Amino acid sequence: MSKGIGKEFMEKTKYEYAEPSDQEKGVPQPSLELEWDENSVLIDLPSPENLVVKGMDLRKAIETRRSLRKYADIPLTLDELSYLLWCTQGVKKVSSRPATLRTVPSAGARHAFETVLLINNVEGIKPGLYRYIALSHKLIEITTEPEIADKVAVACNDQEFIKNSAATFIWVAVVDRMKWRYGERGYRYLHLDAGHVCQNLYLTAESIDCGACAIGAYDDNKINSLLNLDGENQFVIYAATVGKRIQ
């Protein structure tokens, strides 16, 4: 890795180097959600309006939050998974711009992430890789091959606790969705937005007797290849495991 590349990134993404964005040029904005095969089987998730979770004081959630890498062999319920997805990328409204207003902040309401889930232990869902379809609050199956958890763990530098989690959230950045408005500076905002999303996961996990562990250590080429991402226009930006606490 070139010495000083981080400093160069911060320097060259200053506003003084900004060129007119695609938005300013009048280029139509990218879609709010990546396309998916409409013939695929969708898994309905419990409606956010009907989810019931125990109340938890925000201060207590903040004070008790910590990274948890060991989990009880207790499955998440479908309600709990739905709740975690809703709290991390749930769409509250689609505005007339159009833009999605979600449960987490995002620069310019660009919301440039797609959520991929490695499911290991969730009631009613076969283990495998799934994608969250946020606009309709559903899941779509990617693969249920038996070795997929092992492959994800290997791509994440052999972190074994990934295989023992109830689920691992993998956030994929769709660069054009952010760059359309902010150009090269948008790369800064992608990383900021990833922090917002993951913190929501940590705090909401606390309220359902779970713990989470953020993952930034992964082989970019391996994880992107595994998810069929080109690594340039779409790439994994962050991940986090979730599982029930050991009592």
Give pLDDT, residue 55: 79
Per-residue pLDDT of the chain (247 residues; tens, 9 = 90+): 677 999 999 999 999 999 999 999 999 999 999 999 888 888 999 998 888 888 789 999 999 999 999 999 999 999 999 999 999 999 999 999 899 999 999 999 999 999 999 999 999 999 999 999 999 999 999 999 999 999 999 999 999 999 999 999 999 999 999 999 999 999 999 999 999 999 999 999 999 999 999 999 999 999 999 999 999 999 999 999 999 999 8
Q: CA–CA separation, 48 vs 246, rounded Å?
A: 27
pLDDT at residue number 247: 80
Half-sphere exposure of residue 188, counting CA atoms within 13 Å on the CB side? 18
State residue 37's pLDDT score: 87
pLDDT the model gives residue 38: 81
pLDDT of residue 192: 98
On whether the CB atoms of residues 56 and 83 are closer than 8 A, the answer is no
pLDDT of residue 6: 94
Q: Which domains, and CATH codes, for the chain?
A: 39-48+55-244 (3.40.109.10)
Token pair 């004081």: residue: 57
| Residues 14, 52: Cα–Cα separation, whole Å | 44
* pLDDT score at 86: 97
Sign of torsion over alpha carbons 224, 108, 110, 240: positive
pLDDT of residue 49: 87
Give the 3-state secondary structure of residue 242. strand
